[in-house]
A and B are shown apart, each in its own frame.
Chain A
Amino acid sequence: DIVLTQSPTTLSVTPGETVSLSCRASHSIGTNLHWYQQKTNESPRLLIKYASQSISGIPSRFSASGSGTDFTLNINNVEFDDVSSYFCQQTQSWPRTFGGGTKLELK
C-alpha cells in the first residue's frame, strides 16, 4: 500500500501569512495526488486535483505542486475561513489512501 505522510500535523499561523503543507508518498505516484479541505463538522471538499490542477470555485490563494513522492499545498494570504484540516489522497493504485491530515489553526 502507498503510505502518505503529511506534515506538519498542526500548523498555527497568522492571517495574511503564506503557508506550505507537505505530503510525501512512500512510492512514486506521478501526479495522482489530490488535496481536500475539511472544515469542522463538514464534508471534505476537493481543493486541488492531480497535484497542481485548480478546481472551479476554489479561491486562487490555494495552489499546489509536486510529482513523484513529494507534494506541497500552498495557501497564500491565509484567511480565517481557511481554518480546516487538509488531507492528501493518492489514486495511483489500490487501495486508495489518504494522508493523516494537517490541521491549520490561526493565532
Chain B
Amino acid sequence: EVQLVESGGGLVQPGRSLKLSCLASGFTFSNYGMNWIRQAPGKGLEWVASISSSSSYIYYADTVKGRFTISRDNAKNTLYLQMTSLRSEDTALYYCARHYYSGDGFDYWGQGVMVTVSS
C-alpha cells in the first residue's frame, strides 16, 4: 500500500525556519518525482515545489523561491522541505504527493502537516 506520511509541522514565529519531512512507503520511491503542495485554511491548492526522481530537476513557486528548498534522500525514502524566512502567508496545510512522468497528475497524496506562522 502506497503511503506518504508528512511530519515536522508546528507553530513557528515569523522569520524562523522549519523543515518538513515526507516518509514514503509501499512503492519504489527513487522512481517517482515528488511534490509539495499547500492549502491555506479554507482556501484552494497551491503548488509549492517539485523534484525529479534523481534530484536533477527542481522547481519552485515564485512565492517560495529563495526561501524554501526541496530535497530528497532516496536511501531513506524521504522527501524534505526546508523552509526559511517564514511569513504569516506561509500558514497552511502542507501535502507531499508523487508523480511518475513529468506531466502526470499527482496520484498519491499524504495526509498533510500543518504549519502555522505566528508571533
- Residues of A whose CB lies within 8 Å of any CB of B are 32, 34, 36, 38, 43-46, 49-50, 55, 85, 87, 89, 91-92, 94-101
Q: Is the CB of B111 within 8 A of A46?
A: no
Q: Judging by beta carbons under 8 Å apart, are B103 and A98 in contact?
A: no
| Alpha-carbon separation in the docked complex, A87 to B105 (Å) | 12
Q: Which of A32, A43, A99 contacts B111 (CB 8 A)?
A: A43
B44 touches A (CB below 8 Å): yes
A45 to B107, CA, bound (A): 7
Contacts of B2 in A (CB 8 A): none
Known: A43-B112, A95-B61. A34 touches B47 (CB 8 A): no
CA distance A96 to B50 in the complex (A): 9
Please, how many angstroms separate the alpha-carbon atoms of A50 and B22 in the complex? 26
For the complex with contacts A46-B107, A50-B103, A96-B47, 8 further pairs of A-B residues with Cβ separation under 8 Å are: A36-B45, A89-B47, A89-B105, A95-B62, A98-B45, A98-B46, A99-B44, A100-B44
Nearest chain A CB to B53 CB, angstrom units: 16
